[in-house]
Structures are given as structure tokens and as C-alpha cells.
Amino acid sequence: MEEKKKPSAFSVLMKYAGGHKALTYLSFVLSAAAAVVGLLPFVYLWRIIKEVIEVNPNFNEAVNITHNGRMAVLSALVSMLVYFAALMCSHVSAFRVAGNMKKELLKHIAMLPVGFADEMGSGKVRRVVLDATSSTETLLAHNLPDMVQAVVTPICMVVMLFVYDWRFGFACLVPVIIAFAMMMRMAGPGMQEDMRNYQNALENMSNEAVEYIRGVPVVKTFGQTVFSFHRFKKSIDEYSDFCIHYTKSCRTPMVLFTLFVNTAFAFLIGLTLFLTKSGNYTQDILINFLFYVIFTPIIVTTMNRVMFMSENTMQINDAITRINSILDIKPLAESEKTESPNGTSVELKNVTYHYSEDAKAAVDNISIKADKDQIIALVGPSGSGKTTVAGLISRFFDAEEGTVKIGGADVRNINKNTLMNTVSYVFQDSKLLKRSIADNLRIAKPNATDKEIAEALKAAQCSNIIARLPQGINTVLGSEGTYLSGGEQQRIAIARAILKKAPVVILDEATAFADPENEALVQKAFTELTKQSTVIMIAHRLSTIRNADKIYVLDNGKVVEEGNHEKLIKRSGLYKSMWDEYQKAVSWKVGKTV
């Protein structure tokens, strides 16, 4: 079976151009015209020199110098103006393509499960959305018009090189051919794999840098160094090793390329000496020699354009591959069989999930149930599967085995919008947009009135926060030095969840970044949030879940204990051990030495 031909990078980009596609083609035409007109000043300059030499020493007979000089200046100006028009057209089209590509990516990402970003890495996603799409703008706005000139100019050059004197033309082409061979060693097909490895190294550094920055408070607190973040240091070392290796591999061909592309004049001098070695000197040889000396600097500019053009094309091919790696990810399937939740009970039955094929099961044949208006808690060591359970309930990803139900309906059969309105999720590290407090809350309920927002903020114990902000709920976060602490941000996030009034609430380590004062206020906010809702709480601070209706203790992706606090304490199992350790941590104080 014949393999399907892969579409070119240009054809892929033109799909995003919309009605501006014609501007791209117009920029090509104008760029080609600018390239042709841009060669005319050299012709007029040569005419001036030719006329001066021919009338020597009767310079007063050189009557066309002024005309040729004016035409040289005029053709140069026309070339610049036409090229400027070409760039105007290409930029308008390029901005539209980059904008449409970003919109398409973000629209698709919005359709993907939330777990996608965790699996791919937020740093990698950000690089694709911002850097990969921006690199297409460089290609369309600059590289493609230059590419047209890089094709048209050599064709015109070859014609002109052989029109005046084929011997000098051949002498100019010899270093060009050698330089082109050196360029292909650096920017040939083999470089595509190097470009892919280079971008991979950058993405790995970006991902690990995000994790490192998030851990900076820990690094500072315990006086650690970057070596405590082995993966981050490893990604930097790998990037460094790759760059050094690739630079060394390009060293010799780059030196030879630069040498030969800049030494066409040396070949011309050698040919001139050869032609005149037996005294066979003619005025035509001198005139032609001067023309080629004036004309050959274009070779340097053209060859450099060709070299960088090939490199940029490879970058674009790699960028499109990375963009498609996101666009090719399929959203979670929407079932044709639609179910509506009947009540707010939550149940996981024999559920198993792996984050990747070769990874250990994050949850393994797990069964958990929360009846209507119950508060259940998930506790256990780090990596025991607590957050995975919460993600499965919210359908950040789908269970591989077993079922997840809300109100008796399989979450895979619940309409996406219905599920989003049913479940409210307060993350461990809640993010607020750089918008006003009111705008941040209206994410949960776009048509909420100021009165509803104020009531939600009051219920979330945020009154003291709003009171000190210069414009109250209309204060834009991040403006004029307006910032909130981690605990304050968490209370705003809880206010958003209260405003949403979702019947199922998931609290994932919601007090993790709160100091004791903020924690007390967050706990009061929890009381308001959990009224008439089924609540699933994940917590390391066991005091926050002591009064839960049922506590599930997870370890290695399995439920190892379940029951209320008193029952689990009497059992003297993992929960009892965790509780004892928690009590020791709470009662620990800095002693006073004498």
C-alpha cells in the first residue's frame, strides 16, 4: 500500500491563514520583484565604471554617469519599497496564522481532560502554545519572502554571471559550490533529528524548571542546592552536552563555508592573473573583472539566506510536529447514551488506572463510596492514589477498569457541562487570574451579581481581604502591588466554589499552604462550602478530617482501611500510625537551651 504523502509545512500553515492566504502569495510576488530590481544598481554601477574606463583620459565625454547614477539610486529605492510592501503583506498573514493556530490549540486543549496537562507537563504545553506558534510567524513574515529571494536572486545571478564573461562566472561559482557542500553538512537532512533533539532538550528543561521554581521555598528553607533537584540538573547537563557536541560537529564545515563564501574575489584575481600572464591585457578583462568584484558580495548575502532558510524550515517542521502532537490527542469520548445524576452520591467500584502503560497502577481495583451529603476523607502516604481518585471523579481522565458514578450515573455518560456543574474542585495550589476578584469568582457563575459574589466571599471568610483592597471586589490582582498570600488565595478559591453551589465538592489538600490563622478561616469556609453537598476531602493535616463521616486510608493505590476516626484509631493500623506522627509534629516546639 502506497504511503500517504506528508503535507508540507507551508500547506499546513496556509490552513490557518483564512482569507489572508492571498496576502502570502502576493508577498512572494513582490519579494521576487524586489530581488530582480535589487540587482539593477550593480548593473548601473558597472555602466558608470565601464564608461569612465572607456573614455579615459577624456572624462568629459562620460555623459551618462549622472543618468546611470540616478537609475542606480532609483532602482535601489524601488527594490526597498517593493520588499517593504512584501513584508507588510507577509506580516499581516503571519500574525493571522499564528493567532488562529493559538486559538485552535487553546480550543483543543480546553476540550482535553485536565489530566492531559499533568501527563505532558505544563512547561512543555506552554512552550508549544507560545514558542512553536510564534516560530511560524517568523517563517511566514520573514523567512518565506527571503526564501523567494534566495531562489530568484541565484537564478538572476547565474544569468548575469555568464552574460558578461563565462570564465569569470565560472570562477565565481566554484567557491559557491564548495560553500554549498559545506552548508549541506550542517543544514542537510541529518540536521532534522538534531533539531528534534534540541527542542526536546529545551522542553525537558522548561518542564523541570517549572518544578524547580515551585520547590524554591523548600530549597531556601533547608539550604539545599540545585543538586537536590536531580532531574532539573540532569536536563541542563543534557542540553549543555548536546549543544557542545553539535557545535563541535559544525565547527569545521562552518569555517570552510565562511571561508569559501567570502573568497570569490580571490578566484577572480587568480583567473585575471592567469588571463593576463602573457601580457594579453585587454580593457574588456579589466571591465569585466571590476563588474564581478562589485557583484560577488551578493553571493555572501544569498548563501547566508539559503543556510538560515534551511535551518528555519527544519525548526518549523519540528514546531508543526509538536503542535500536532497536542492536536492529535483525542478528547475523552462523549457517550451517545446520556445519563443524568439522580442525587449526589459518589461511588468508585473496582477502579484501576495507570498514568502510562509501563507505570505502576496509580489506583488498583479500588472501591470507595460517599452517600448523599456525606463527608468522606482520603488519607495516606504521598503517591498512594488520593489525587488520582479525585481526578477520576471529576473525569480528568477515565478509569481503565471499573466504574465511577455520581448520583448513580456513570461519569462517562454524563454530559460534560452537566458534570462540570455537578462537581466543584478546590485544588491544593489554587490559581487566580490577573483579573479582578469579581472576575475570578464569575468563572464559576458568569451571570452572578455583585450581591451574590459578596455573599460568597463573606461565607468563605474573605471579608477582611476585601476590606483592605483599594477597589474591593473590583480590585485587579497583581496591579499596583496587590497580591494575596497562599491562604488568602485559597479562601478566594473556596468562595468561587461556594458561588458555584455544586452538589459534589472535592477538596484536594485545600489547607496545604495556609498558616494557622488562615487555616482556621479556611476551616470556617469549609463549613459553609460543605452544607448540603457531598464532600470528598484529601488531607495530610489529619485534624481537618477528624469529623468526616468516613475515612478511607490508601496505600499503593489500594484501600487498606476505612471507617470513622475513632474506629480507625482503635484498629491501630496505618491511620493510627499517621495520627500519632501528626500529633508529634503538632506538639513539637523549638526548645530553649540554657
Tell me: do 431 and 404 sit in the same domain: yes
Contact 372, 310 (CB under 8 A): no
Count structural domains, the chain: 2
| 593, part of any domain | no
Contact 34, 79 (CB under 8 A): yes
Tell me: do 278 and 361 sit in the same domain: no
Tell me: do 383 and 267 sit in the same domain: no
Tell me: do 174 and 95 sit in the same domain: yes
- Residue 490 is part of a domain; what is its CATH number? 3.40.50.300
| 555, part of any domain | yes
| 91, part of any domain | yes
Tell me: do 397 and 282 sit in the same domain: no
State the pairing for strand pair 401-406/409-410: antiparallel
Tell me: do 313 and 357 sit in the same domain: no
- Residue 42 is part of a domain; what is its CATH number? 1.20.1560.10
Residue 2 has a pLDDT of 44
Contact 538, 568 (CB under 8 A): no
Give the C-alpha separation, 261 to 254, whole Å.
10
| 2, part of any domain | no
Which residues are CB-neighbours of 102 under 8 A, at least 6 positions away?
129, 133
Tell me: do 306 and 187 sit in the same domain: yes
Helix (H) or strand (E) holding 504: strand 504-508
Residue 594 has a pLDDT of 43
Residue 78 has a pLDDT of 94
Question: pLDDT by residue for the chain (594 residues), tens digit each?
Answer: 344 556 677 777 888 887 788 888 899 899 989 988 988 888 888 788 778 877 777 777 778 888 888 998 999 999 999 999 999 998 888 888 888 888 888 888 877 776 676 666 666 777 777 777 777 777 788 777 877 877 787 777 777 767 767 777 777 778 777 877 777 777 656 666 666 677 677 767 766 666 666 566 555 554 555 555 677 777 788 778 877 877 787 788 888 888 887 777 777 777 777 777 766 666 677 777 777 777 677 777 777 766 666 666 666 777 787 788 788 878 777 777 788 888 888 999 999 998 877 778 889 999 999 888 888 889 888 888 888 898 888 888 888 899 999 998 999 888 888 888 888 888 776 778 888 889 988 988 888 888 888 888 888 888 888 888 888 888 888 766 677 877 788 788 888 888 888 888 888 876 555 555 556 666 666 666 666 688 888 877 787 788 888 999 999 889 999 998 889 888 888 888 888 887 877 666 555 444
Residue 429 has a pLDDT of 67
- Tally Cβ neighbours within 10 Å of residue 188: 13
Distance of CA 127 to the CA centre of its chain: 2
Tell me: do 362 and 264 sit in the same domain: no
Identity of the residue numbered 262: N
Angle between helices 516-529 and 486-500 (to 10 degrees): 0
Cell numbers at residue 574, please? 496505618
Residue 1 has a pLDDT of 38
Tell me: do 297 and 360 sit in the same domain: no
Q: Rounded to whole angstroms, what are the CA distances from 24 to 17, 92, 141?
A: 9, 9, 9
Contact 187, 221 (CB under 8 A): no
Residue 593 has a pLDDT of 46
Peptide bond preceding 7 in cis form (omega within 30 of 0): no
Bridge partners for 369 per DSSP: 347
Residue 82 has a pLDDT of 94
| 49, part of any domain | yes
Tell me: do 254 and 388 sit in the same domain: no
Tell me: do 316 and 455 sit in the same domain: no
Q: From its phi and psi, is residue 65 left (phi > 0), alpha (psi between -120 and 50) or beta?
A: alpha
Q: Which of 298, 327, 356 is the last residue of a domain?
A: 327
Strand order in the sheet with 423-426: 423-426, 504-508, 534-538, 375-379, 550-555, 558-563
Phi, psi of 414 (to 5 degrees): -90, 135
Range of the domain at 225: 9-327
Q: Which of 327, 357, 379 is the last residue of a domain?
A: 327
Tell me: do 243 and 364 sit in the same domain: no
CA nearest 386: which of 510, 554, 512? 554
| 476, part of any domain | yes
| 194, part of any domain | yes
Contact 172, 296 (CB under 8 A): yes
| 340, part of any domain | no
Give the C-alpha separation, 15 to 109, whole Å.
19
Q: Which of 273, 296, 327 is the last residue of a domain?
A: 327
